[in-house]
Structure 1
Amino acid sequence: MRAENNKVELTGTIITEPEFNHEVFGEGFYNMHLKVDRLSGTADIIPLIISERLINLNDKYTGTAVNVSGVYSSYNKHEEKRNRLLLYVFVCEIEKANPGEHANLNNIQLDGYVCKEPTYRKTPLGREIADLLIAVNRSYGKSDYIPCVVWGRNARFVGQLEVGTHIEINGRIQSRGYVKMYEDGTEEQRTAYEVSVSKINVLEEEN
């Protein structure tokens, strides 16, 4: 499932044991969570889906430093009266990080298309920001839909892009907590996942 248009490289610490997710043609797939520290001292908690063929279900993984490579995938889960976009890293390779060489790595490269009009705005402190949703093609005519956030002059640039523009981005996967408010007044703590973009290029289409 390795793809040239969707590459994720992570180094971090496993913080949950494998939990069964689904099965395809007799192959089981499991949820795990990876903690990747930022330079700021906070951390991103990134969901993984991993085949039983890549792990030993008898082993304990919590606290293990690992290198992970894979692709960033999306799944539309139907909830109540709406769909909720779930994001995770589909793991293609995983290995233990060498002792003493554990450095937190969080890098993603995507090649896709703007599939929704970008939203440009300024924060209360005057920082420029743009929200971007891109579609990354995968096999069998399907696509992954990846929300991205862009800052500064790149945000200004993104705010002018038209739907359908072919772009290439580099960045990192980040997690962000928020509160979901319901009509009956109840609240639920949730986590949003998105790509924080550091570099973006528009690709010229070949004739």
Structure 2
Amino acid sequence: MQTNNNKIFLRGRLAAPPSLSHTNHGVEYMLLPLSVCRLSGAEDTLHVIASREQLSALPPLDAGSPLTVSGEVRTFNNRSGVGSRLVISIFARSLSQEEGEDENHLELSGTICKPPVLRTTPLGRTICDMILAANRRYGRADYLPCIAWGSLAYRCGAMEVGGRLALEGRLQSRIYTKEIDGQTQERTAFEVSIMSLAGEEEYIDPNA
């Protein structure tokens, strides 16, 4: 199985104090909700996962603390029936507290695993939705929803399942409402906003 590129760099501030996410093989992993501003002024709140040991190397963190993260985007299927079905988070490889402008940069490559969907918004903007499967080193894969706009959406809409794609973009959050048992619930979805296709082999047609 070919390993794909999956690197994300984030700089922002904690939206809330760290809290326990889960324990795996005796290691405690903490959830760090990181708020990162876009150029437009909107904010994305992204879920960073780091071990308690990683946090011990930093000063105590609280809401508003600056945080810089390097890592990769991970996904898993939530079968509990509570919350979103696809859970997307950032697995931290390194943490620091560098001051600087907010930053959200993702380099990603993988295989298109569902037919891209080209559509038009109510405001007349053209967008393309697609799912990219990025293989990890150890036989697993992360399935990432991606979205492209404008002329880039037309290019992505012409791609085929099985094609290999390399891109640069950002991981963003989007709040939406869903009606369950007659009650409206507010949920957060995460998706990759494609800024550009990247690399010498930005798209490899499976039929070429």
**Same-fold call, TM > 0.5?**
yes
Read off the aligned partner of 1:114 and give its amino acid letter: I
Shift in Å at residue 65 of structure 1? Answer: 1.1
Tell me if 1:32 matches 2:36.
no
Which segments of 5 or more consecutive residues in structure 1 lack a partner in the other structure? none
Q: Conserved in 2, the CA contact under 8 Å of 1:7 and 1:72?
A: yes
Count of matched residue pairs: 199
What is aligned with 1:71? 72
Q: Give the Cα–Cα distance (whole angstroms) in 1 for the partners of residues 186 and 84 of structure 2.
A: 18
Indicate how the Cα distance of structure 1 residues 28 and 104 shifts in structure 2: closer, same or farther if over 3 A, else same: same
Question: Which residues of 2 match residues 1-207 of structure 1 at below 5 A?
Answer: 5-56=5-56, 59-80=60-81, 84-98=85-99, 102-182=100-180, 184-200=181-197, 201-203=202-204
- Give the unaligned 5+ runs of structure 2: none
**Residue type of the alignment partner of 2:6:** N
Three-state SS of the structure 1 residue aligned to 2:55 is coil
Distance in 2, matches of 1:81 and 1:22, equals 16
1:104 aligned partner, one-letter code: D
1:125 deviates by 2.2
Report deviation, 1:181: 1.3
**Seq. identity, %:** 36
Q: Once structures 1 and 2 are overlaid, which stretch shifts more, 141-150 or 121-130?
A: 121-130
Per-residue CA shift, 1:42-88, capped at 9, x if unaligned? Answer: 10101111111110398233211121100000010114399800000
Cα-Cα RMSD? 2.0
Q: What are the superposed Cα offsets for residues 161-204 of structure 1, whole Å, 9 maximum, x if unpaired? A: 1111001010011111100112x321100011001101122047
What TM-score do the two structures reach when normalised by structure 1? 0.90
Distance 1:24 1:133 in 2: 28
Residue by residue over 1:26-48, the C-alpha shift from the partner in whole angstroms, topping out at 9 and shown as x without a partner, is: 21111110000111111010111
**Runs of 4+ with deviation above 6 angstroms:** none
Question: Structure 2: how far apart are the matches of 1:33 and 1:94?
Answer: 14
Q: How far apart, in 2, do the equivalents of 1:132 and 1:79 lie?
A: 25
